[in-house]
Amino acid sequence: MKNKTLKRLNYYFPLLLILFTLSSFQNDDGKPKRDTVQTSGFKIKTIVVDAGHGGHDPGAFGSHSNEKTVTLALALKLQKAIEKDLKDVNVIMTRTDDNFIELHRRSDIANKNQGQLFISLHCNSLAGRRVTEVTGYKKGKKGKKIPIYKTVSVPNRSGKGAMILVYGSRRVGAQEEALRENAVIYAEKDYKDNYAGYDPENPASVILLNTFRDKYRKQSIRLATLIDNEFTDTDGRVSAGVKEQVVLVLDHTAMPAVLVETGFINNPDDEAYLTSEEGQNEIVASVLQAIKNYKKQVEN
């Protein structure tokens, strides 16, 4: 009986959605209504903070530091700052110590806690350049000198500043999967029996899924832009801006998500900034202010 009811709902829901949409924009006399959209009372209640790398995965190296240590320090400070200034927000941490958390588990933590924002903190680094140099000479025929070449790796410390990443628009499969899973998991407690969540056969479900995906992407770019603005306009830092990139931890999150490359740890100036108390406090303050600005925008 329950399955029959669900089938009927799945059949009629698209029609009801269309009728609701039409009626919402018309007066009783059939003329279009003026814009009377009101706020839905949406509030950001849960933010997930992810410290990149950890445990046996140190990430990138500087001359005297590594990425996993810097990102954990930043994440813990950001947690305290959010809890202090945004008392109505619950902060979920993917790690709070030097443990290795698999990438898929990080997104799972965010999704299962129904996060509304996912912020992953990282440090950037440039790979060394391969150069060929003369290391000596050997005697050839008739006493002619023949150079001896060797290819070596030279550190590339030219990278500088921040960069904010959002998931690539072309890689939608993984995020759609996460959205479908969330639609089922959070539809109701006994979803395994009732399966009142995502239905691939229901056009309305597909439309809603795509709507959520597009909304999350736009909101990710909005948050990323706000963070980037704080880094550049407020702190006066160099930044590569907001970039799209295929990042597993972002692709599997069913919420607005950004990855913050806080600086190039293998650049001496950036490393000094990233490992200093002043630099870390400034980064955290900028991310926090961007969250406040974003929260104000979406809640209003």
- The string of DSSP letters for 12-65 reads HHHHHHHHHHHHHTB-TTSPBPP-----------EEEEEE--BTTB--SB-SS-
The token duo for 29 is 């006399």
pLDDT digits (tens, 9 = 90+) for 140-188: 777 788 777 777 666 788 889 999 999 876 554 544 444 444 443 333 3
Question: Is 6 part of a structural domain of the chain?
Answer: no
Q: Say what the pTM is.
A: 0.71
CA dist 273 and 271 (Å) reads: 5
Question: Is 256 part of a structural domain of the chain?
Answer: yes
Q: What is the CATH number of the domain that holds 189?
A: 3.40.630.40
Please, are residues 91 and 82 in contact by the beta-carbon 8 Å criterion? yes
Question: Is 60 part of a structural domain of the chain?
Answer: yes
Which residues have a Cβ under 8 Å from the Cβ of 228 and sit 6 or more positions away?
162, 164, 239, 241, 242
What pLDDT does residue 116 have? 94
Question: Is 4 part of a structural domain of the chain?
Answer: no
Instruction: Provide the number of structural domains found in the chain.
Output: 1
What pLDDT does residue 247 have? 78
Question: Is 109 part of a structural domain of the chain?
Answer: yes
Please, are residues 49 and 121 in contact by the beta-carbon 8 Å criterion? yes
Please, are residues 286 and 237 in contact by the beta-carbon 8 Å criterion? no
Residues of the chain falling short of pLDDT 70: 1-40, 128-129, 131, 152-154, 169-213
Structural domain harbouring 206: 45-126+160-299
User: What distances in angstroms separate CA 244 from CA 75, 91, 166, 176, 221, one per listed residue?
Assistant: 23, 26, 5, 17, 9
Question: Is 273 part of a structural domain of the chain?
Answer: yes
Question: Is 219 part of a structural domain of the chain?
Answer: yes
Question: Is 185 part of a structural domain of the chain?
Answer: yes
What pLDDT does residue 6 have? 44
